[in-house]
């Protein structure tokens, strides 16, 4: 591995004192941690980004969640690290992140803008259980009454529930949990290092029970694998039953780095879909606008049906009873499938 981003120059991302550790315990088997001291931690989002926020904090690079589609894979290449298995197993840990956040929030030039976390890699991935960087970061944000948001697939956020509650008393705090689908077989191969979707919905349920409004980012909706009307309905219903304040669908996007890794996975697990993906994503990283709008419309209609959206704490949701099982199909009937 070659580190071009180390050194004493102002442009270097990290200092030269890197400690590399391999931890031989079951929860971290096969994972290598590169402990670095970052030079800055509150980073401005590039102007060309589609992100709806301007500032981020990312205490880690690389992610053991190992989501095949993760758009952040390309960023590992900036450190001359592999964007495939290396992204999943070579985790860069900014061990001085809490002290940097506190220092940068106290700087005269800082204006108290909203800070988003978990937008590049998950700040509550398994490494956080070892390094516990988030409590110090949350405490600094609380002490400066600085608004922030967190997006996560990790259940470890519940460890910091009290800090989140304290921060919410003095500033705007937004929490979103990512749950794109409920299919266990798809989850095990597409997001192999994450907690199961049901456990993530338990996080939503717990946060809501403690007075923290929690939304669900329904991401990704995976074309031809999790986008059928029945699948969308099941997911939105489960999100509503968990007490989420909102649900926002996001169709799978395949940026360079993630695209190659995802298509390799697709060819191994669902080879019959490769040609269809090449057609659907032939125009670039994003699915066609018509497809995105269709999914968004379907999810929004389901959200309205189940009472998802702006609501008052304690307000009952309109969750209709589950429909009766459909009758067995006539074995002599001919079934036509539109592909």
Taking only the tens place, the pLDDT of each residue in 265-277 is: 999 999 999 999 9
The yes-or-no verdict on residue 329 having pLDDT over 50 is no
Q: pLDDT category, 21, cuts 50, 70, 90?
A: low
Angstrom distance (rounded) from CA 298 to CA 308: 13
pTM of the model: 0.85
How much of the chain exceeds pLDDT 70, in percent? 82
Q: pLDDT category, 78, cuts 50, 70, 90?
A: confident
The yes-or-no verdict on residue 249 having pLDDT over 50 is yes
The yes-or-no verdict on residue 51 having pLDDT over 50 is yes
The yes-or-no verdict on residue 311 having pLDDT over 70 is no
311, burial (CB in 10 Å: exposed 0-12, middle 13-18, buried 19+): middle
State residue 17's pLDDT score.
Answer: 60
Buried b (16+ CB within 10 A) or exposed e, 160-183: beebbebbbeebebbbbbbbbbbb
The yes-or-no verdict on residue 319 having pLDDT over 70 is no
Angstrom distance (rounded) from CA 141 to CA 133: 13
The yes-or-no verdict on residue 32 having pLDDT over 70 is yes
Judge whether 74 and 257 are in contact, CB under 8 Å.
yes
State residue 321's pLDDT score.
Answer: 58
For 203-211, what is the mean pLDDT? 97
Name 117's bridge partners: 57, 150
State residue 317's pLDDT score.
Answer: 45
288, burial (CB in 10 Å: exposed 0-12, middle 13-18, buried 19+): middle
State residue 328's pLDDT score.
Answer: 43
């Amino acid at each position: 591995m070659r580190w071009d981003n180390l050194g004493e120059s102002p442009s270097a991302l990290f200092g030269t004192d890197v400690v590399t550790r391999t931890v031989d315990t079951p929860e971290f088997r096969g994972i290598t941690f590169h402990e670095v001291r970052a030079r800055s931690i509150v980073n401005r989002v590039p102007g060309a980004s589609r992100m709806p926020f301007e500032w981020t904090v990312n205490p880690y690079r690389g992610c053991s969640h190992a989501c095949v589609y993760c758009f952040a894979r390309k960023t590992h290449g900036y450190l001359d690290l592999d964007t495939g298995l290396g992204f999943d197993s070579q985790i860069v840990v900014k061990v001085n992140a809490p002290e940097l956040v506190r220092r940068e929030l106290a700087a005269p030039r800082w204006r108290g803008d909203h800070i988003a976390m978990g937008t590049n890699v998950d700040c509550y991935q398994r490494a956080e259980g070892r390094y516990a960087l988030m409590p110090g970061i949350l405490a600094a944000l609380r002490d400066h009454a600085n608004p922030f948001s967190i997006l996560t697939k990790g259940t470890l956020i519940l460890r910091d529930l009290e800090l989140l509650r304290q921060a919410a008393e003095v500033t705007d705090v937004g929490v979103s949990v990512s749950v794109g689908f409920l299919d266990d077989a798809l989850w095990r191969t597409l997001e192999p290092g994450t907690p199961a979707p049901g456990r993530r919905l338990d996080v939503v349920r717990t946060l809501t029970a403690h007075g923290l409004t929690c939304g669900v980012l329904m991401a990704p909706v995976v074309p031809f694998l999790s986008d059928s009307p029945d699948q969308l309905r099941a997911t939105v219903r489960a999100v509503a039953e968990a007490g989420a304040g909102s649900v926002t669908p996001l169709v799978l996007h395949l940026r360079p780095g993630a695209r190659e890794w995802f298509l390799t996975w697709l060819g191994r697990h669902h080879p019959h879909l490769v040609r269809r993906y090449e057609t659907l994503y032939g125009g670039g990283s994003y699915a066609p606008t018509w497809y995105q709008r269709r999914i968004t419309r379907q999810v929004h209609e389901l959200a309205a049906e189940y009472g998802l959206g702006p609501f008052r704490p304690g307000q009952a949701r309109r969750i209709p009873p589950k429909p009766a099982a459909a009758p067995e199909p006539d074995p002599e009937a001919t079934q036509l499938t539109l592909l």
